[in-house]
Chains A and B, each alone.
Chain A
Amino acid sequence: MNAVVKSGPSKLWTDQNRRFDPRRLFRSALPGLSLLIVLAAIYDFNPRAISYFGFNLMLNLAVPVALATAAQLCIIAVSDLDLSIGAYVGFIACVTTTWLPTTPLLGTAAILASIVAYGALGALVHWRQLPSIVVTLGMSFVWLGLALFVRPQPGGLSPVWLSTFMGLHVPYVPFPIVAAVVLAIVLHLVLMNTAFGAVLRGAGGNATAVGRSGWSLLRIKATAYAMAGVLGSLAGLSLVGVSSSADANMANGYTLLSIAGAILGGAEFIGGRISPIGAVMGALTLQLATVALNFFQLPEVFPGFRIPPEWQVGAQGIILIVILAIRALINRGEA
């Protein structure tokens, strides 16, 4: 409750008048800095990784992760949380590999219906004032069940156009980077630069105020969730385009990864405070860190100190904790 009060109009107003606060500058630069540090570490392990082909390889899975993070960001913008996005991406991947190549009409209808279901979920959350964590927790079971129904065994086919698109070779700049930049810009324009985006974030900051000034909160919530559904579907499609087969459980990790990416990118859990560009960078950072730890077996962090393979998961946790600790320090100074 406190946070809602804090991010009221007066706070917004003072924020705009403190443009040259170095702490704020550092805070907003943190996602970019983290990305640079991870890139520098990779360069240190193997300079050849920082190349056209290196990036194509390392950022292979970054596009679906970034899209899932963008989906999560839409939900975080209205101060909710989506614990079902991973299961949903898996479900869409199953639909894509099972129905899209042979019965495109059925596949497309299933994906559209799922997006509608997502929007309806947002409406339900607002209508009954439900905690989003619990509702989406329930939905994660639903999507997983549906995914297993569509595709009981791993496998399937990727539609040709999808693999072709995801395997696109853009000259000079690797395709995943182009895709990430386009995603970041579009997301930034929609969420940060349009009236609609402002209302959306406003509903996350102070729903009562937005409701009293005449906006339909039901429509806002439904739209935010439907947007997450669209982005989640794109994540599922792109995941199939990269991996060319599907498995109901293939994207379960995306739920936590997407939350972590959005938070790394500078989003706050409550108050509608988000940063789309930061979120995409956060997703890339996490993806690169994972790949770096997987690709370069036993990377030497300091001379004589290597990360044992069993610590690869733990390293992700430690990276998260360190970056959040730095941000907590900055925030403490700001307050």
Chain B
Amino acid sequence: MKSLKESLIRWRRRPWIWSFLGAILIWVLAVGLAGGHGGWSVFTTALAFSAFTVLVGLGQMFVITLGPGNIDLSLPANIGLASAVAMKVMDGSDARIAIGLGAAILAGLLIGLANYALIRVLRIPPLIATLSSSFVIRSVGISYGRGLQIKPPQAFADVVLTRIGGISLPALLVLLMSIFAGVVLARTVYGRSVLAVGQNARAARLAGLPVGLVRLATYALCGALGGLCGALLAGFTGGSSLDVGAEYLLTSIAVVVIGGTSVAGGLANVPGLWGAALMLFLTATLLNSSGLGVDVRDLMTGLIIIAVITLAGGRRSLR
């Protein structure tokens, strides 16, 4: 009896549980509205789309965990450019898929490094630095892509759209990456350093941690994940597009916050990303299928974000 109570308390302490409960509730509503049919397909579709949100959410989570002020606003431009780079390098040829993927990730990585260079060398706040760089990246994307929509190689599109037991391959990949990210955060020197810097950068520096290097690696990681997301999205949607990343500006931040990661930094939560991403996608599905328009969907998304952050409390919970 006691152990049950203890485990209940332990479960309640996990903030990500709420995003999953919310996702399940909305899933039940959505399936109920459809007359109890298609529950599995609604779930697998949600998984397939959430995978991309979680992928960029992972990068954004690492950056936000670095502490107050740290944020990457260049992700949408990054995703758009990377999708163009991937498609152009692959050039519709199955043999060049690996090179294209590598090129997209490299492009993202370079963007991350450039972001950190702006932050560090010019001492610009991350918000403004990544905002300014996103303008520049967008122009690079326009002049590089020239508005062409290049089709992905058939094999690449097939792989990205493959479903194993109903679950899409990108979702499985991102699931593995999430587990890996969780292990990195909890068990590696780099992961622990990110948390330490986020909790108190001054203390971390005095403790001898290479704070600058940790930040550099984190922005680079976030950029690389954005690059990978761009390449996968191009395969998923059947071609590169500069606007493919537009929706990920706000959703990448939203899933991090709803998922229980502390906005004040120093406290990350990987499972919550999935719960939040599924919840947002299922909310959109539910509102779409119940005939309500995009206006109600936006309104609900906003109210959910505010409700979650109000209930979870802000900086106070950290102290």
CB contacts (< 8 Å) of B136 on chain A: these are 314, 317-318, 321
Which of the residues B125, B250, B314 comes within 8 Å of A128, measured between beta carbons?
B314
Given A129-B314, A146-B295: A141 in contact with B71 (beta carbons within 8 A): no
Taking a contact as CB atoms under 8 Å apart, the answer to whether B309 and A144 are in contact is: no
Taking a contact as CB atoms under 8 Å apart, the answer to whether B310 and A152 are in contact is: no
Q: Which of B1-9, B206-214, B300-308 lies on the face that meets chain A?
A: B300-308
Taking a contact as CB atoms under 8 Å apart, the answer to whether B139 and A142 are in contact is: no
Which residues of A116-173 are within 8 A (CB) of B? 124, 128-131, 133-135, 137-149, 152
B94 close to chain A: CB less than 8 A: no
Given A138-B309, A317-B133, A320-B128: A131 in contact with B315 (beta carbons within 8 A): yes
The number of chain B residues with a CB under 8 A from chain A is: 49
- Contact string, A293-335, partner B, CB cutoff 8 A, digits 1/0? 0000000000000001011111111101100110010011000
Quick one: closest B residue to A332, CB to CB? B123
Taking a contact as CB atoms under 8 Å apart, the answer to whether A269 and B69 are in contact is: yes
Chain B proximity of A256: nearest CB distance (Å): 6
Quick one: closest A residue to B139, CB to CB? A314
Which of the residues A129, A141, A325 comes within 8 Å of B313, measured between beta carbons?
A129
CB contacts (< 8 Å) of A74 on chain B: these are none
Given A131-B315, A138-B309, A312-B139: A145 in contact with B297 (beta carbons within 8 A): yes
- Contact string, B283-314, partner A, CB cutoff 8 A, digits 1/0? 00000000001111111111111100110011
- Contact string, B37-78, partner A, CB cutoff 8 A, digits 1/0? 000000000000000000000000000000011010100000
Report Cα–Cα, A256/B71, bound state, in Å.
Answer: 14
A260 close to chain B: CB less than 8 A: yes
The number of chain A residues with a CB under 8 A from chain B is: 46
Report Cα–Cα, A140/B251, bound state, in Å.
Answer: 12
A103 close to chain B: CB less than 8 A: no
CB contacts (< 8 Å) of B313 on chain A: these are 128-130
Given A260-B128, A321-B118: A139 in contact with B306 (beta carbons within 8 A): yes
Chain A proximity of B182: nearest CB distance (Å): 23
CB contacts (< 8 Å) of A256 on chain B: these are 73, 131
User: What are the 7 A-B residue pairs with the smallest beta carbon separation, nearest first?
Assistant: A314-B139, A317-B135, A141-B302, A145-B299, A145-B298, A138-B305, A148-B295
11 contacts between A and B (CB under 8 A): A81-B127, A130-B310, A130-B313, A131-B264, A131-B315, A138-B306, A145-B297, A149-B296, A256-B73, A260-B131, A320-B128
Report which A residues bind B (CB closer than 8 A).
2, 81, 124, 128-131, 133-135, 137-149, 152, 256, 259-260, 263, 269, 308, 310-318, 320-321, 324-325, 328, 331-332
Report which B residues bind A (CB closer than 8 A).
68-69, 71, 73, 118, 122-125, 127-128, 131-136, 138-140, 142-143, 202, 250, 253-254, 257, 263-264, 293-306, 309-310, 313-316
